[in-house]
Amino acid sequence: MFSKSKINDGAPTSADAPTTTTSAAPAVPSSSVPKPNEFKASAPKAKPPASTLSADLHVTGNMKTTGDIQVEGTVEGDIRAHLCTIGESATIKGEVIADDVVVNGRIVGRVRGLKVRLTSTARVEGDIIHKTIAIESGAHFEGSVQRQDDPLNPSAKAAPAAKSNPAS
């Protein structure tokens, strides 16, 4: 029922008398055949989970990541991330810069983000520089709001006001 593979067999036996192969499959170069210990990625890497700073954690200093971060504790310093979620019990005293910023807690400082969302439990005391913004009913906000095409770049100029052209 089972037979030994002829590929791994070194010398032909008397049963293997013909020395030429008439296989329809093309020969595969040995360099393209994966070795047993060689890693081949078959699918894109899964996104790592967000880093979480627990509610009992107090951080003094700046934080920077290319991934996602969820803050439940207190941070005295700037945060830079891809997605930054500020939990209801969190307090940030510094600048928050991220592609996406979701504020459920308190921020005292500037917020810069492509997408900024203040939920109903948010308290922000500082300026918000954004490309798109959503502020839920009940959110507390003191500061200015400024739209920019590239809010992540501090040297970017504000988006020009739309000019109205009177019809002639």
What are the tens digits of pLDDT across the range 15-73?
555 555 555 555 555 555 555 555 555 556 667 778 999 999 999 999 999 999 999 99
Three-class DSSP category at 27: coil
CB within 8 A of 58, min separation 6: which ones? 73, 74, 75, 76
Question: For residue 37, is it within any domain?
Answer: no
Strand extents, DSSP E, 33-78: 51-53, 58-60, 63-64, 68-71, 74-76
Return the pLDDT at 141. Answer: 96
Distance of CA 152 to the CA centre of its chain: 15
* Partners of 142 in beta bridges: 125
> How high is the mean pLDDT of the chain?
81
Domain that holds residue 94: 51-147
Question: For residue 159, is it within any domain?
Answer: no
**Residue 168 scores a pLDDT above 50:** no
Q: What does the alpha-carbon distance between residue 86 and residue 1 come to, in Å, rounded to a whole number? A: 63
Question: For residue 45, is it within any domain?
Answer: no
Q: Which is more confidently placed, 90 or 7?
A: 90
What are the tens digits of pLDDT across the range 111-164?
999 999 999 999 999 999 999 999 999 999 999 999 999 998 877 665 555 444
Question: For residue 68, is it within any domain?
Answer: yes
Question: Model pTM greater than 0.85?
Answer: no
Question: For residue 104, is it within any domain?
Answer: yes
Count of domains for the chain: 1
End-to-end CA distance of the chain: 90
Q: Exposed (0-12), middle (13-18) or buried (19+): which is 99, by Cβ within 10 Å?
A: middle
